Structure 1
Amino acid sequence: MTYLILGLIVFLGVHSVRIVADDWRTQTRARIGPLAWKGLYSVLSLLGFALIVWGFGLARQQPVQLWSPPVALRHLASLLTLLSFVLLAAAYVPGNIIKERIHHPMVLGVKLWALAHLLANGNLGHVVLFGSFLAWAIVDFTASRRRDRTLGTRYPGGTAGATGITVALGVGAWIAFALWLHGLLIGVRPLG
């Protein structure tokens, strides 16, 4: 569990700099340059991610079961992850209505993804991993929306065509992940 927690501190810490120290981030980025900032950010993010993967793998070898979720929650988790994949796609497809309305669809997608996994899994490793991501996403989404209001940030309008592409990509990615990639990469086939 130590490596999992350390990885979460590094990964979510790097992703929280703008939440807790936006002025410092801006000054440091200006001082060392955007390329060096992105490089440092990427290296620390990858280090944190590697520790999370390793630590979670170790935690899964000796699970501490806290509760047994009912089957209905697993079905709800599938729906929530479907929505999270659509939100993830909305973060990258330009000109979609979802991003226009939500402003930060990736962070909202992380919230739904983490909540889904908390509902479907009842062991300590899952609670630590997905609970941490859920708490971070709630704080980040709130801070990002507040920053948008303060700065008067406007998001460009979306079109039905771009939104349709967004939904199709999200659903397609969810199908590929749920039926094949989750089992290949994580070792668990959520849809059987």
Structure 2
Amino acid sequence: MDGWSEFILAGMLFLASHAIPSMPKLKAALVRRLGPRGWVIAFSLLSTGLLFWVIYAAGRAPYVEIWPQEIWARWLVNLAMPMAILLGSFGLGTPNPFAFEGRTTGFDPVHPGIAGLTRQPLLWAIAIWAGAHLVANGDLAHVILFGAFALFTAMGMRTLEARKRRQMGETTWQRLSARTAMIPGAALLAGRWRPQRWPSPIRLVAAVLVWAALYHLHTPVIGVSPQP
């Protein structure tokens, strides 16, 4: 299998795997067989494995330069990644009825937590990761890879927000989203939301550990040093 074939196959399998949650009957059957927790673990492992494969395959594809790599773009990645990891760390599993990764129970619209900063923390984390890496990697394979992630994430935000709004109904949506925003920081700047407490130290430590792991494993796993 040559570099382009592997990249295309990995990309198609990654996209196919993420179509599973949008298939109610298939997802329900998998949840019945694996259990809710087992489904989440299995899907997470599958997604992570395919993600690493498609990134690795992009690095093995023939190098076709569209724009050159610049030192400032590497600095951009190193500045953007802590923000992306923090958003992901504080978004996963928190009470947030607007995001697919958040819990639907326990949400307080008066104190919305991470949803006050943005209703879509994980999708913004992916968008920041993809956008920064797109700027830093100007070869064709990586432009396709990170450009697709950035595009589909942006489209996914709009689609998810519209679906959640329909499901909740306009009255419930307005009540729950009054102190939130989709654009990060928009509710803060508008004065509709203020942080009420310090961030969870456990999630903060987890974010630091994830950042450190990704930074030090980038070279042996991806094959490219993250250093500028």
Q: Distance in 2 between matches of 1:43 and 1:132?
A: 21
- Relative to its length, the structure with more helix (as a share) is 1
- Root-mean-square deviation (CA, aligned residues, Å) is 3.3
Shift of 1:83: 0.9
One of 18, 21, 42 as aligned partner of 1:15: 18
**Amino acid in structure 2 at the alignment position of 1:5:** I
Q: CA deviation at 1:164?
A: 5.0
CA distance in 2, matches of 1:47, 1:170: 20
What does 1:114-153 correspond to in 2, within 5 Å?
Answer: 114-152=130-168
Partner of 1:170: 207
Flag structure 2 segments of 5+ consecutive residues without an equivalent. 96-111, 181-194
Q: Quote the Cα distance in structure 2 between the aligned partners of 1:167 and 1:46.
A: 22
CA shift in 2, pair 1:140/1:174, >3 Å: same
1:181 partnered with 2:217: yes
The answer for the alignment partner of 2:7 in structure 1 is 4
The question of 1:102 aligning with 2:87 is answered: no
CA offset at residue 50 of structure 1? Answer: 6.5
Output the amino acid matched with 2:157.
F
Unmatched runs of 5 consecutive residues or more in structure 1: none
- The change in CA–CA distance for 1:124 and 1:36 in structure 2 (over 3 A counts) is farther
Maintained 8 Å contact 1:16/1:140: no
Equivalent of residue 52 in structure 1, options 51, 54, 61: 54
Partner of 2:129: 113
1:183 aligned counterpart, secondary structure: helix
2:74 is aligned to 74
Structure 1 letter corresponding to 2:161:
R
**Over alpha carbons, which structure has the higher Rg?**
2
Structure 2 letter corresponding to 1:8: G
For residues 176 and 139 of structure 1, the distance between their equivalents in structure 2, rounded to whole angstroms, comes to 30
Normalising by the residue count of structure 1, what TM-score does the alignment of the two structures yield?
0.75
Partners of 2:211 and 2:48 lie apart in 1 by 24
Q: In the alignment, residue 119 of structure 1 is paired with which amino acid?
A: V
2:222 counterpart letter in structure 1:
I
Instruction: State percent identity of aligned pairs.
Output: 25
Q: Is the 8 A contact 1:111 1:138 kept in 2?
A: yes
Alpha-carbon distance in structure 1 between the residues aligned to 2:124 and 2:90: 11
How far apart in 2 are the matches of 1:88 and 1:43? 16
* One-letter amino acid matched to 2:147: G
